Structure 1
Amino acid sequence: MKLAATKVPISTVWTAPDAPRDIDAPATAEQPDVAAWAKSMDTETRLGLHGRALTQLLFAEPVLVRTERDGWSEILAPWQPSSQDELGYPGWIPSSHLGELPQSATDPVAIAVPTAALLAEPGGRPLAELSFATVLASVEQADGYTRVATPDGGTGWLADGVLRSAVEPSGPEDRLRLGELFLGLEYLWGGTSAHGLDCSGLIHTVSRVLGMRTPRDAHDQADTLPNIPIDEARPGDLYFFGRPGKQIHHVGFVSEAGMLHASETGKRLEDGPLTDDRRATLVTAARF
């Protein structure tokens, strides 16, 4: 295996090279347009992602490349812990989405707003639009901007106001504040970006901004994080849902209103009371 890094803002991870449909072409293009792809899909088309899409990689995210075939790379994503493989979340992405790891640097920073422009120089021309939860190594700071290392030996600049230090202490209020940035965002199966999130993707990406390496899938989150009694859960904790004899299938942040969560395909990220169905399937809670 070899180490590489995602060199596009968002790369969707697929179950196999032949999993993407014609409508998914914007997501698999050499320069993917995930925003346009998300906007092009109706509810039925989004439901069709089940069994095809798995997760998403963000700019400069490291990967282990297992094999390459016909322009596709079989990868493991070590920043996305999974019970499927101890080395990271497995799947396939276009090989054109991969480059060399960024140069070593210090002080990781995370994008803490929905999207941010990566600039060629402070106040200069944009190089790319990066998503929430993109984590980059900082090189220097100057005049309200931070220079960051990028794949293939490059660098770029981000305004300090869009960034959060990945080592800065955080609390429950930070998790809810960041999750609330995406109220109204349409659910996207496998989504981990500002253009679409699934239930566990919301938890994973918010955790990443706060410097926590949280598993990618809900059932792994439930198995890994310290469980607490449901009646002891407080805002910022997690609720997990499942049916008898079945794997955990849903997760959300406990909130003052009830739960902040990405509900399901066809719905939007919301913060509100638990429905009767949710209460009937609430099986455990967890605390970071």
Structure 2
Amino acid sequence: MKLAATKVPISTVWTSPDAPRDIDAPATAAVPDVAAWAKSMDTETRFGLHGRTLTQLLFAEPVLVRSERDGWSEILAPWQPSSQDELGYPGWVPSSHLGELPTSASDPVAITVPTATLLTEPGGRPVVELSFATVLASDEHADGYTRVATPDGGHGWLPDAVLRSVVEPSDADERLRLGEQFLGLEYLWGGTSAYGLDCSGLVHAVSRVLGLRTPRDAHDQADDLPNIPLDEVQPGDLYFFARPGKTIHHVGFVSPTGMLHASETGKRLENTPLTEDRRSTLTTAARF
């Protein structure tokens, strides 16, 4: 296996090289346009992603490349822990989406807003639009900007106002505030970016901004995080849901209203009281 890094803003991870449909071309292009892809899909088309997409990689995210064939790379994503493989979440991405790991740098920072523009220099020309939860190593600060290392030996600058050091302490209020930025965002199966999130993708992305290494899938999150009694939950904790005899299928942040969560395909990210169906399938809770 070899190490690589995602060199595009968002690379969707697929179950196989044959999984993408014609309508998915914007997501698999050498320069993917995930915003246009998400906008092009109606609810029925989004349902068609079930069994096709798995997760998403963000800019500069490291991967292990297992094999390559026909322009595709079989990868493991170590920043996305999974019970499927101890080395990281498995799947397939276009090889054109991968480049060399960023050069040495320190002080990792995360993008805290839905999207942020990487610049050539402080106040300079735009290079690329990056998503929430993108984590980059920084090596310099000047005039309210931070210089970050990018794949293939490059650098760029981001305003300090859109960044957060991942080693800063965080609390429940910050978890909810970060998640609430996406209220109204349409659910996307396998989504971990500002253009679409699924339930566990929301939890994983918010956790990444806060420097927390949280598994990618809901059932792994429930297994990994300390469980707490349901009658002791506080805002910022997690609710988990499963039907009798089934694996956990849903997760959301406990909120003063009820639950902040990416509901399901065809619906939008919401912060609402628990419905009767949700209460009947609520199985456990966990705390970071």
TM bucket, shorter chain: over 0.9
Residue 110 (structure 1) aligns with: 110
CA distance in 1, matches of 2:61, 2:177: 24
Residue 45 (structure 1) aligns with: 45
The alpha-carbon deviation at position 35 of structure 1 amounts to: 0.1
The alpha-carbon deviation at position 216 of structure 1 amounts to: 0.1
The alpha-carbon deviation at position 107 of structure 1 amounts to: 0.4
Unmatched 5+ stretches in structure 2: none
Q: Aligned AA for 2:232? A: E
The alpha-carbon deviation at position 190 of structure 1 amounts to: 0.1
Q: What SS does the aligned partner of 1:182 have?
A: coil
After superposition, what is the alpha-carbon deviation per residue over 1:96-154, rounded to whole angstroms, capped at 9, x for unaligned?
Answer: 00000001111000000000000011111110000000000001000000000000000
Residue 61 (structure 1) aligns with: 61
Q: What SS does the aligned partner of 1:244 have?
A: coil
Residue 131 (structure 1) aligns with: 131
CA distance in 1, matches of 2:66, 2:230: 41
CA distance in 2, matches of 1:143, 1:227: 44
CA distance in 2, matches of 1:175, 1:247: 25
- RMSD of the alignment, in Å? 0.3
CA distance in 2, matches of 1:106, 1:15: 33
Residues 172-183 of structure 1: pairs in structure 2 closer than 5 A: 172-183=172-183
1:213 aligns with 2:207: no
Residue 257 (structure 2) aligns with: 257
The alpha-carbon deviation at position 74 of structure 1 amounts to: 0.0
Residues 70-109 of structure 1: pairs in structure 2 closer than 5 A: 70-109=70-109
Residue 169 (structure 2) aligns with: 169
CA distance in 2, matches of 1:222, 1:52: 24
Residue 237 (structure 2) aligns with: 237
CA distance in 1, matches of 2:121, 2:171: 33
Residue 193 (structure 1) aligns with: 193
After superposition, what is the alpha-carbon deviation per residue over 1:208-232, rounded to whole angstroms, capped at 9, x for unaligned?
Answer: 0000010000000000000000010
Residue 280 (structure 1) aligns with: 280
Q: Aligned AA for 2:182? A: F
Normalising by the residue count of structure 2, what TM-score does the alignment of the two structures yield? 1.00
Residues 6-17 of structure 1: pairs in structure 2 closer than 5 A: 6-17=6-17
Work out the percentage of aligned pairs sharing the same amino acid.
85
Q: What SS does the aligned partner of 1:13 have?
A: strand
Q: What SS does the aligned partner of 2:27 have?
A: helix
Q: Aligned AA for 2:131? A: S
Q: Aligned AA for 1:158? A: L
Q: Aligned AA for 1:177? A: R
The count of aligned residue pairs is 288
